[in-house]
Amino acid sequence: MLREIDSATAVLEAEDAGESSELSHLDQHPADTASEITDAGEQGALLENFADRKAQVVAALARLDDGTYGACVDCGQQIPDARLEVRPEAARCLADQEKAEAAE
Ligand SMILES: [Zn+2]
């Protein structure tokens, strides 16, 4: 399970690095067209998603350290293995995740 999270972290870091290098590439051409400005905005949103996901992975690693990994942070019940396989960084069971997203 730890290995799964490690590989998820590695993928996210690789994606993050890729996005960053593209952004600095854009920075080197400030006089480009309006469409590229839109692209930069979309990349900013993507970066934000990566940062969010990365924060979730880091939080999952912290839960691994303190032994609460796999338990829903809201109701404390064990998150189903099938869910953890898809989202190893998941902090909540599906029901609480849906509630949390609805509350945002
Ligand atoms: Zn729950």
Which pLDDT tens digit goes with each residue over 76-95?
Answer: 999 999 999 999 999 999 99
Closest CA to 16 of 46, 58, 38: 46
User: If you measure from the C-alpha of residue 79 to the centroid of ligand 1, how many angstroms do you get, rounded to a whole number?
Assistant: 7
Q: How far is the CA of 71 from the centre of ligand 1 (A)?
A: 8
Quick one: which of 16, 9, 3, 2 has its CA closest to 57? 9
* Element containing residue 62 per DSSP (H, E): helix 34-66
Quote the tokens at residue 58: 């880091």
The H or E element spanning position 75 is none
Residues in the chain where the model's pLDDT stays below 70: 1-2, 5, 12, 15-38
Integer Cα distance of 63 and 55 in angstroms: 12
Ligand 1 midpoint to CA 40 (Å): 37
Residue 90, SS3 per DSSP? coil
